[in-house]
Structure 1
């Protein structure tokens, strides 16, 4: 009886420890997506591109997808994605409300700057939401499928294959929904391909982090 109680206590401790780690991963995941949404309008020179600062945060979300799917399964990763999608949707609604309200006398002087920062077009906001929803689900699905096919081996292959494919769809969906006007496909592809390439590069460089994070999450 005493041994059973001790075993139960150890199991509860392990579960509690892992849940705290998952809470931390969820916080990083949400922060990365929200940061990309709020700060992604800023660009900086990177090689031959004017790259969005979101290029640093978006690959993190795909790594977390892989880590959580590897250790906890597809259902838990999808719960991360759904929670973040709801947050982004509500953030978009609050953003629309905030920029539509007239400024008070005290904040009138700062209204142009506020509008410049937060008044993204509804089209770009919707493009971001659709790209996130579809690409994140695709990443989780591909990773889980390859994992089942390889019987749990080849984490580096599963992680990079799922990330490269899903990042292509994420970049393509966003760019076409945000900027395509029916006659500028070549221009949009000129944005998609280099951005996708840079995201893939960041993702591959971060492969060791995926291994470290998986081992960390599995530890008690």
Structure 2
């Protein structure tokens, strides 16, 4: 297989991987609740897109191998840190005299560094665990049983990611019951 064929579409998958990661981080600044008062379902706005990063991570690991998957994970990490630092600096910069939206900007993007910290820690642990489990299962089963690799790696990676993210992002800000609901709902939704 030639190098050009081997790496075809890697940049496209990588671009979507990074885009879904960044959009999910911004959307995660808002907790949302569905269901009823007696049976609430708590999640965040990023939960809609974030699972796609795991699907793309699986595609990267399966098609391009662990080395290029690690590269994609680190690129996503750098993109998220860059976005977080940018939002923090812009938030700290003095607003224009006639601009009345500083409080709104800070309410959404000012919380972003905590979300990004939570996301980055969870992301690194979850993505590396996901890729490692997928590769280890593949080493044991060979090319057969793709579904076992994909399901097994996603179940492990998503649980680590979800629990770490929820605890770091909203720990101390919401009650224990809401936190447990948030972790369980997030995990079940993502997997």
Which TM-score applies when normalising by structure 1? 0.76
Change (3 A) 1:190 1:39: closer
Q: CA deviation at 1:56?
A: 2.3
1:63 to 43, 49, 55: 55
Match of 1:81 in 2: 73
Q: Distance in 1 between matches of 2:45 and 2:176?
A: 24
Which of 159, 166, 170 matches 1:168?
159
| Cα gap change, 1:151 to 1:191, in 2 (>3 Å) | same
Aligned length: 187
- Unmatched 5+ residue regions in structure 1? 1-10, 201-220
Q: Where does residue 113 of structure 1 map in the other structure?
A: 104
1:141-170 per-residue CA deviation (whole Å, 9 max, x = no partner) reads 000000111112111111011111111100
Summarize the alignment of residues 16-95 of structure 1 with structure 2, pairs less than 5 Å apart. Answer: 16-47=4-35, 48-95=40-87
Question: More helix per residue: 1 or 2?
Answer: 1
Q: Distance in 1 between matches of 2:110 and 2:25?
A: 12
Q: Which moved more, 1:70-79 or 1:15-24?
A: 15-24
Aligned match of 2:133: 142
| 1:153 counterpart = 2:144 | yes
Partner Cα distance (2:111, 2:143) in 1: 42
RMSD of aligned Cα (Å): 2.3
Q: Give the aligned partner of residue 213 of structure 1.
A: none
Cα offset, 1:85, TM superposition: 0.4
TM-score, structure 2 as length reference: 0.87
Q: Who wins on radius of gyration, i.e. which is larger? A: 1
Structure 2 unpaired stretches of 5+: none
